[in-house]
């Protein structure tokens, strides 16, 4: 999460309060809570990234390693917030896929775009701005397969997929259908004479 320096401290405080208030529970039960990660391998990856972030000097706001209070088994991860993260830190360069938020300050639009694009990944990006014009200008320059502005939901027929190491190809819409088509290339065809069926 890239936050302008003028509101960074306030944003970090709010993020910490929200993360600390998140309930964790059994995904088969009704309610507003988050469940566990999908596997031991993913749990170990996320725990390792949290440990590395602390070792590299990221400021832990809330959460951290280990399971949440009240859980002694399962792949449950404590909702974790890191502040004062530098973009070259491991936690800023990896796709965590766990309840971990990394907060990085920026001073102007150009710096924000540079930081956002300085990653080997590019699945999705989210922009919050009081200026629709600015949001659209930034969205054009982000190297991500999906960009959502001011909380807008992706339409059900829009393509799903990323840039760079976040994958090739798309799911959804006409782009997703192309994965199921066969293409034939014929060399030496006479353009004016279509083939007889």
Sequential DSSP letters for 41-97: HHHHHHHHHHHHHHHTTPEEEE--SSPPTT-SSSS----EEEES--TTSHHHHS---
SS3 of residue 106 by DSSP: strand
Confidence at residue 26, expressed as pLDDT on a 0 to 100 scale: 93
Residue ranges matching CATH 3.40.309.10 in the chain:
1-107, 108-183
pLDDT in the model for residue 195: 62
Tens of pLDDT, residue by residue over 36-73, are: 999 999 999 999 999 999 999 999 999 999 999 999 99
Average pLDDT over the chain, rounded to whole? 93
Mark residue 189 as left, alpha or beta (left: phi above 0; alpha: psi -120 to 50; beta: remaining).
beta
Classify domain 1-107 by CATH number. 3.40.309.10
Average pLDDT over residues 3-19: 98
| Whole-number pLDDT of residue 17 | 98
Spatial distance between the Cα atoms of 84 and 74, rounded to a whole number of angstroms: 30
137-195, pLDDT tens digit by residue?
999 999 999 999 999 998 888 889 999 999 888 888 888 888 777 877 777 777 776 66
Assess contact for 109 and 134: CB atoms under 8 A.
Answer: yes
- CA angle at 53 for the pair 90 and 65, rounded to the nearest 5°: 130
Q: Which fold has domain 108-183?
A: Aldehyde Dehydrogenase; Chain A, domain 2 (3.40.309)
SS (H, E, C) 149-175: ECCCCCCCCCCECCCHHHCCCCECHHH
Confidence at residue 170, expressed as pLDDT on a 0 to 100 scale = 86
Rounded CA-CA distance 24/77 in Å is: 9
Rounded to the nearest 10 degrees, the angle between the axes of helix 109-117 and helix 132-141 is 40
The model's pTM is: 0.85
């Amino acid at each position: 999460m890239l936050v302008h320096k003028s509101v960074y401290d306030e944003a970090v405080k709010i993020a910490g309060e929200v993360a600390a208030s998140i309930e964790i529970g059994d995904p088969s039960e009704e309610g507003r809570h988050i469940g566990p990660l999908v596997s031991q391998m993913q749990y170990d990856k996320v725990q390792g990234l949290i440990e590395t972030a602390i070792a590299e000097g990221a400021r832990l706001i809330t959460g951290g390693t280990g399971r949440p209070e009240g859980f002694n088994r399962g792949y449950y991860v404590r909702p974790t917030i890191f502040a004062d993260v530098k973009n070259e830190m491991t936690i800023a360069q990896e796709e965590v896929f766990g309840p971990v938020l990394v907060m990085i300050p920026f001073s102007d639009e150009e710096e924000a775009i540079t930081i956002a694009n300085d990653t080997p990944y590019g699945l999705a990006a989210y922009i919050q701005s009081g200026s629709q014009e600015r949001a659209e200008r930034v969205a054009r320059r982000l190297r991500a397969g999906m960009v959502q502005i001011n909380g807008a939901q992706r339409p059900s027929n829009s393509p799903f997929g990323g840039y760079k190491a976040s994958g090739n190809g798309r799911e959804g819409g006409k782009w997703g259908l192309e994965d199921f088509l066969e293409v034939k290339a014929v060399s030496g065809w006479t353009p004016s004479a279509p083939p007889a069926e």
